[in-house]
Amino acid sequence: YRDLQRSLCGAESECAVLPMPSQTRDAEWSFARASLPPRPTMVLAWLSVPNIDDSWEKVELSLPKTTRARLMMPAGDSAPLLRVHQPGGFLSHLVRCQVDTEAPARRPGTKRVHADITISDASGSTGMSCNRAGACRTVRQCFNLHEERRVLKRLEGIPKLRCAGVLLDDDVWVQQFVVFDHGVRSQFSIEARVGDLDASTVEALCKVLVDGSTEAAAALERAGKQDLLKRWRSALESLRALTAGGTTSFVAGATQARTAYMENVKRKFPGAEFTAYVNFDTDGGNNCGPCYDAIAKLVEDADVVQGHVLGVGSWVDQDCAAKVAKLLKGTVSLSLSFPEDAAADELFRQDMGRWIKALRTCPVSVKVSAGSVKWTARHGDRFENGVECLCAEGEGLRFDQPDITELDHTKAVLRGLQAGMSTTLYLLSRLPIEQLVSALAISVDGEKAQVSAGPEQLTGVALGHRWLSVLGPDALPDVAANRSSLCGRLRSRLEDDVSFSWNLPTKSGS
């Protein structure tokens, strides 16, 4: 055994790194031993498959324009255990429904305002030297270059997004910068109509802003777009002039970003659809104030779809950066120094992909109904909803007041869902489960979904436990309850039925 261990792994190590296969031979790899060790041994192999399309967003590819709903039908012994009794003698059924929404085509005449909000750290630590590619710059100067390049990359993408139908001519694109230390150090913004940013205009703008081309500036003046050029020049001059300041307060930056958005975007374009993408750039962590509350308030009020945190330097508070990124519904990139050009291109490509996904995002409302069912009470006939939508699972969802346009039934109205996202609905059906497939009507912004049936993904005790968790009194993360239907008495009734059927304890302790 000792000889075998020594020959396989060495005298001290428990792990052996095997030689790499030859790069010139076919994609084969083999490992053989004359004998096996006398205890369990694992061979771990890493397979890397290059993908030339990785991190690239193909804006010319439109998303499917259909919405699908799939009823997850419990099978076997689980089906009778999800039957519950309702007032009026109804034998009802609990069933889950998976709704996959796809981004609908933009309707002509609609107006959308998209804001890119950059919240950037200019505290005293950003005045430290950052040696990059032989040039001695401060961290703040590196942030200035990085943010300028990022906004110009997005500017180059606007004509392609316009041609792909993601943005329409009457849409408005806003760039909002808030630079903070312990307070607000600087703020400025750029606003442009998408129809004014055609391919030739954007090409000329980039030549002027990057290379200082006088010919391109003259062409913009002849086209009557000197005001557009003036706004972009002024914003980039303000960005390039930023320097380091005092201490650090994320609260100041987040609060001012929310205030500027409400005043300069939300109130300026009433009736429009709004989306926002946030870039949070820092070299440290929050030193004062309840920053997480301020970030959460920004996300709630400023229509934030997604965000990203860039942390550069050895002083970055990784825990704080990760929590801010989670609140922004995005990711975090951490680095000890600013990346070189090749790595920077990868970061910009990933950021561009996230940004385009945010632009593709379109808030939608979902309505759920299945007609009505009739039963006879002492005073006469009564009508009840064929299906009640009790809960919905997904981030940022909420139920609005029910739709009462029909005389004999109401429709549950779900908001907060973004086109292209999925949600799981928890339904109470007064119709036989077989009839629900044909009777269920789910519409997304007026477009009717294709309803089908499939097997329930959860089985056994896991399915019963999930229903009891949803019906419990304590709110679950990312689960919205429809209080118009799921009142306290109904919740307790359903909870008791499921608990007795599955022989599982309730969350409420009843």
Tell me the per-residue pLDDT of 420-474, one tens digit each, with 9 for 90 and over: 778 999 999 999 888 999 999 998 878 888 899 999 988 889 999 999 999 988 7
pLDDT at 16: 58
| pLDDT (mean) for 392-403 | 88
In this predicted structure, the answer to whether residue 115 has a pLDDT above a threshold of 90 is yes
Report the candidate in 204, 187, 115, 200 with the shortest Cα–Cα distance to residue 151.
Answer: 115
Give the DSSP H or E segment for 492: helix 488-502
Q: What is the pLDDT of residues 242-265, one digit of tens each?
A: 999 888 999 999 999 999 999 999
| pLDDT (mean) for 329-347 | 75
CA distances from 317 to 146, 284, 287 (A): 20, 6, 10
Burial of 25 (0-12, 13-18, 19+ CB in 10 A): exposed
pLDDT at 422: 87
In this predicted structure, the answer to whether residue 361 has a pLDDT above a threshold of 90 is no
396's tokens: 């940022």
DSSP letter (8 states) at residue 487: -
Kindly give the pairing relationship between strand 273-282 and strand 372-377. unpaired
| pLDDT (mean) for 334-358 | 76
SS3 27: coil
CA distances from 224 to 146, 161, 216, 228, 230 (A): 30, 23, 13, 9, 12
pLDDT at 2: 56
The average confidence (pLDDT) of the chain is: 84
CB-based contact 116:150 (threshold 8 Å): no
SS3 172: strand
Q: Which tops the pLDDT comparison, 7 or 442?
A: 442
CA distance 114 to 276: 6
This model's pTM is above 0.85 = no
| Listed range (57-71, 288-302, 371-385) with the worst mean pLDDT | 57-71
In this predicted structure, the answer to whether residue 54 has a pLDDT above a threshold of 50 is yes
Q: What is the pLDDT of residues 64-86, one digit of tens each?
A: 457 889 999 998 888 899 999 88
Adjacent-strand bridge partners of 74? none
pLDDT at 258: 95
